[in-house]
Amino acid sequence: MQRWRRWFAILVPTTGCLVTNPAWVGDGDGGSAGVASMSRGDDEDDEDGEDGEDGEDDDDGEGTLGVTSTDPPEDDGEGTLGPPPGSTSQPPPADWWDTAWKYRRIVDLNLPTPLGDPLQVAIRIDGSDDPLRFSELGEDVRFVSGSGEPIAFDIDAWQPLDGSGALVWVRLVPGLELEPLYMYYGNPSASPRVESSDVWMQEYDAVWHLGSGLDASGQSSELDPFVVVEPGQLADSAVFDTLGGQPVNASLGDVSPQSVTITAWILPLSAGEGGEGRIVDLKVPITELDVALHITSSQAPPALAASVASGGAIATSILPDFPLDLGVWHFVALTLDEGGEVRLYVDGDGGGAEDLAAEMGVPPMLMGSSVVIGGSQDGDPTRFDGNIDEVRIRPASVPGEQIYAEYIAQIGEAAALGFEEQI
């Protein structure tokens, strides 16, 4: 009965993944972790790929099994199903990107709206079922569209032994969400990809994952001083406090935006030093732009706030309808457009506009742009108390729909890995 149940499972169509050879689906247990043993059956293969004592279920030495008959295969009495005598292995699917990569999974996208702008989507990879499927540091991971085009990605974090807990950012552009997207792996000879900045540099001035002080976009300086890290919302986060913790700062290089979007994940433990804990403090002297995204204790419970100065105009915005629960991770965002309109968001909601009191000026100044995370650039007693993760600065104001899409993309609900296919 066990054999007939397994054969029946092979005949049932598999959803969420393109499968040409049913033998690749394995036992059909489901789940995003894939199948622990893809073409072995119930007993263990030896190192040469031979199974059982009579040798009738040998594979071809390349890890691929083929089935050419619709009749149930013969049970050899050893608990393993194999192809009927005389059958041959089938070739990989016609859309298989490169046969040097032995495994792939489809990336199931669930975006809140069709893409209007590029979107960087977080994909979590669990390789713990079979650590030998991945290279030690994920050097063999590739993302490829259904039409065979490689897609830019950035490995944020990777567990060296098995890939469990790995986090990868993939850049989606409008139209790409309408065709299949695959993750390929299982090529021990693959060299690591080095173009991770391609994921970010077209949309952002700076992206700090805060597992280190490095800017993933490659356009800004490393954060200084050293970033103290611990587990965060997305891989690692930076730790700040109001006692001995220091804010970190960086130069943004040659940027002079008149509009800006700042996003970050925060885990506030209190309202911060002076009740005004700074999350991100951005200064762009050439446009007289000074933007501080912070917490304020003027509301109970604490709320997200922004203090903006530009061209002599000043505005303070508070988002009281979406309080910041202490000890809970929140996705916070600020947008400022060229007309001086400020909008704030918490966990994808918000967006109420508040205008600056005067038009923005653009006086010529020869000073570099800079940012401080976790405190003030002026030395004010406004240190953040808690953890900050995934700080991004973009030289443009994006609409509320994009802020919500980015929130969904970062909490892991926009993409999931389907079943594993093997050749």
- Look up the CATH number of the domain holding residue 370: 2.60.120.200
pLDDT band, very low/low/confident/very high, at 160 (cuts 50, 70, 90)? low
Asked if pLDDT for residue 113 goes beyond 70, the answer is yes
If one compares 5 and 401, the residue with the highest pLDDT of the two is: 401
Q: Are residues 298 and 153 in the same domain?
A: no
Give CA–CA dist 228/246, Å, rounded. Answer: 10
Please check whether residue 358 lies inside any domain of the structure: yes
Q: What average pLDDT does this structure show over 129-136?
A: 78
pLDDT band, very low/low/confident/very high, at 134 (cuts 50, 70, 90)? confident
- Look up the CATH number of the domain holding residue 133: 2.60.40
Q: Are residues 136 and 62 in the same domain?
A: no
Count of alpha carbons within 13 angstroms of residue 375, beta-carbon side: 21
At residue 163, the pLDDT reads: 58
Please check whether residue 144 lies inside any domain of the structure: yes
At residue 293, the pLDDT reads: 96
At residue 1, the pLDDT reads: 39
The DSSP symbol for 215 reads B
> Could you report the per-residue pLDDT of 81-105, keeping only the tens digit for each?
444 444 345 678 888 999 999 999 9
Q: Are residues 347 and 382 in the same domain?
A: yes
Count of alpha carbons within 13 angstroms of residue 333, beta-carbon side: 29
| Burial of residue 204 (number of CB atoms within 10 Å: 0-12, 13-18, 19+) | buried
Q: Are residues 273 and 418 in the same domain?
A: no
Q: Are residues 307 and 175 in the same domain?
A: no
Name the residue range of residue 159's domain.
Answer: 103-199+411-422
Length of the chain: 423
Q: Hey, is 409 helix, strand or coil? A: helix
Please check whether residue 390 lies inside any domain of the structure: yes
Q: Are residues 290 and 255 in the same domain?
A: yes
Please check whether residue 405 lies inside any domain of the structure: no
Mean pLDDT for all residues in the chain = 78
Asked if pLDDT for residue 131 goes beyond 80, the answer is no
Say which residues have a Cβ less than 8 Å from residue 324's Cβ, sequence separation at least 6.
266, 268, 295, 301, 302, 303, 304, 330, 332, 346
Q: Are residues 133 and 174 in the same domain?
A: yes
This prediction has a pTM of 0.76
Q: Are residues 334 and 305 in the same domain?
A: yes
Please check whether residue 406 lies inside any domain of the structure: no
Say which residues have a Cβ less than 8 Å from residue 37's Cβ, sequence separation at least 6.
26, 27, 130
At residue 256, the pLDDT reads: 66
At residue 162, the pLDDT reads: 59
Please check whether residue 117 lies inside any domain of the structure: yes
Q: Please count the structural domains in the chain.
A: 3
The residue out of 91, 120, 149 marking a domain boundary is 91
Which of 292-301, 317-326, 365-374, 413-422 shows the lowest mean pLDDT across its residues?
365-374
Neighbours of 66 (CB within 10 A): 14
Please check whether residue 401 lies inside any domain of the structure: no
Cis, bond preceding 257 (omega within 30 deg of 0): no
At residue 358, the pLDDT reads: 55
Q: Are residues 210 and 195 in the same domain?
A: no
> Could you report the per-residue pLDDT of 361-370, keeping only the tens digit for each?
444 444 678 9
Helices (H), 87-135: none
pLDDT band, very low/low/confident/very high, at 159 (cuts 50, 70, 90)? confident
CA 268 from chain centre, in angstroms, equals: 22
Q: Looking at the DSSP assignment, which residues form a beta bridge with residue 355?
A: 341
Q: Are residues 261 and 216 in the same domain?
A: yes
At residue 14, the pLDDT reads: 37
Q: Are residues 349 and 265 in the same domain?
A: yes
At residue 195, the pLDDT reads: 78
Q: Are residues 153 and 274 in the same domain?
A: no
Please check whether residue 49 lies inside any domain of the structure: yes
| Burial of residue 106 (number of CB atoms within 10 Å: 0-12, 13-18, 19+) | buried
> Could you report the per-residue pLDDT of 188-207, keeping only the tens digit for each?
899 888 778 999 999 999 99
